[in-house]
Structure 1
Amino acid sequence: MNLLNVFDQINAVDPEFSDRISPRREAIKNLASISGKVTLAAIPFLISELFKKAYGATAPTDVNGVLNYALTLEYLEAEYYTMGVAKAGLIPSGRPLGAITTIRDHEVAHVNFLKQVLGNKAVSKPTFDFTAGGTFGNVFSNYDTFLAVAQAFEDTGVRAYKGQAGILLGNRVVLTAALQIHSVEARHASHIRQMRRARGGGAADQKPWITGSNDTGIGAVVDPIYAGENNVTQAGVDITNLSGPMGKISTNAATQSFDEPLSAEAVLNIAGLFIKA
């Protein structure tokens, strides 16, 4: 992963970003030259710390910044499904290939829409490494791995849009479009989860919705995508204290009933693992 590329894309929508982190740029350059598993594991923490120092507790808050943030995610998803559909023999013919092709077309439409809205403010498409530095080395040769990574992307996308919706409240037209994309991403996530369930094996218990923190069966590598999904308190109300048809609402039902947002910095940490340059 090229850390400086991530920062350059942020700088495109927030010209003051470089100034905010300038005392740390040499450290960033040195870090970017280091390779290996230790560096990869440390990236989420390091980026998070830089954002905290650059912005306090928040990422950029302007509309264009949010749209470019969304565009980067849509680039990732569109490229992923485009490569998957193009890989001969990866996706079974019939309904599975039809579904993934449809999802690909949706993601490409999202990219084209966001680029049209942003005009010359749109960031360029990064170069992606869908193996995440070798973590998913067989992503385009093993259909189950392909679906697992697809689920991770879709679940991230749903939470990402939710996390930034508040910034768009002042622009109803853009907010409406973002929410329309958000709901389609949610449908993608649900369908991919059901496709994994239909495969059986370790994914046989997969449900169309998220239960607690990391119900994917993929492993700890995707834990950041589901951080906070075990929350059972909404608007100050502990859902597990409410009555249901069979007594108190269970913890699982409480977590399933409400999706949680992801912060911009958390999403950038996740997406950054798949950005090569």
Structure 2
Amino acid sequence: MGLLKLLNEIDTAQLDKEVKDQFLSRKDALGKLSNFSKKLAVAALPLGAVSTLAGPARAQDSGQIISSLNFALTLEFLEYRYYEKGLASGVIDAEDQAIFAQIEKHEEAHTLVLQDTINSLGGTPVEEPAFDFTAGGTFDPLNSYAQFLALSQAFEDTGVRAYKGQAGNVAGSAAVLTAALQIHSVEARHASQVRRMRGSKGWITQDNGIEGVSQADAVYAGEDSTTQAEANVTAVTEIDANGITEAWDEPLTMDQVNSVASLFIEG
């Protein structure tokens, strides 16, 4: 719980009744899984997948772990500086400033923890790059609050999928995996909060991206998958594809994430 002590929970009291109803509807949908369907889902898993889930993490060299942590650190630098500049610019609506001030603190804490962890493993933290949040003039998020929110959603949704994609690469260290999962859960809260502020559901449906921001399509590629651990979940439940895709976030590879982040990194 070390990292969580650094983080304060985001105030979600502002969520309106409609948003709460959406959450409860999703919860009810997931509750439709019958015991028989659950057994079918488990039975559909290959023995290799079951043993992988149950078995201990394989040993990994620190080089791979440090590489994954530096990858995460670059993303955290991007998010931290984005919110720092957004708050300084005055583009954020007054009623939302406290929310983004809290998110900024979280992102800064993430950068500090990741740097300390990399140093403790004998590695060298990657240098913070220079960022261009206009992506070469494509966006103007520091003058348009709608664009600021849209890019915030894209960054946070990317972060959630990026951490999931690297989980296997840090699984050889229980301490590092724990810290990564703690950060992952906080990034998911950020993503849900920002999506609701934009009037959307707090989770991703299918591979639906951000309207009018085609550059973010890569963030949502593959989110329409209904297969988990080689089992087609729609075949063992009564939940439709929308509900299934909302129940899981799919991982993104390092290359996929870099293709998104590189749009905002100078040089």
Report TM bin, short chain.
0.7 to 0.9
Letter in 1 for 2:134: T
Task: Report how far residue 218 of structure 1 moved.
Answer: 3.7
CA distance in 2, matches of 1:261, 1:173: 21
CA distance in 2, matches of 1:157, 1:142: 23
Distance 1:61 1:254, change over 3 A: farther
Letter in 1 for 2:179: A
CA distance in 2, matches of 1:105, 1:173: 22
Alignment of 1:121-140 (within 5 A): 121-136=124-139, 138-140=140-142
Question: Which residue in 2 is equivalent to 1:33?
Answer: none
CA distance in 1, matches of 2:117, 2:178: 13
Distance 1:61 1:257, change over 3 A: farther
CA distance in 2, matches of 1:262, 1:215: 15
CA distance in 2, matches of 1:217, 1:241: 31
Question: Which residue in 2 is equivalent to 1:268?
Answer: 258
Quote the sequence identity (%). 48
CA distance in 1, matches of 2:72, 2:213: 26
CA distance in 1, matches of 2:63, 2:127: 20
Question: Which residue in 1 is equivalent to 2:203?
Answer: 209
Distance 1:218 1:187, change over 3 A: farther
The two structures have a TM-score, normalised by structure 1, of 0.71
Task: Report how far residue 61 of structure 1 moved.
Answer: 6.8
Task: Report how far residue 117 of structure 1 moved.
Answer: 1.7
Letter in 2 for 1:179: L
Distance 1:61 1:269, change over 3 A: farther
CA distance in 1, matches of 2:223, 2:101: 29
The two structures have a TM-score, normalised by structure 2, of 0.73
Contact 2:209/2:219, CA 8 A, preserved across alignment: no
CA distance in 2, matches of 1:257, 1:134: 36
CA distance in 2, matches of 1:221, 1:117: 32
Question: Which residue in 2 is equivalent to 1:101?
Answer: 101
Task: Report how far residue 214 of structure 1 moved.
Answer: 2.6
Q: Where does the alignment leave 5 or more consecutive residues of structure 1 unmatched?
A: 1-59, 198-205
Contact 2:209/2:216, CA 8 A, preserved across alignment: no
Contact 1:129/1:276, CA 8 A, preserved across alignment: yes
Q: Aligned Cα RMSD in Å?
A: 1.4
Contact 2:219/2:260, CA 8 A, preserved across alignment: yes
Q: Where does the alignment leave 5 or more consecutive residues of structure 2 unmatched?
A: 1-61
CA distance in 1, matches of 2:152, 2:201: 15
Q: Deviations over 1:179-211 (max 9, x none)?
A: 0000000000000001111xxxxxxxx210000
Contact 2:156/2:191, CA 8 A, preserved across alignment: yes
Q: Aligned residue pairs: how many?
A: 203
Contact 2:209/2:217, CA 8 A, preserved across alignment: no
Question: Which residue in 2 is equivalent to 1:143?
Answer: 145
CA distance in 1, matches of 2:212, 2:127: 30
Task: Report how far residue 251 of structure 1 moved.
Answer: 1.2
Distance 1:233 1:61, change over 3 A: farther
Task: Report how far residue 92 of structure 1 moved.
Answer: 1.3
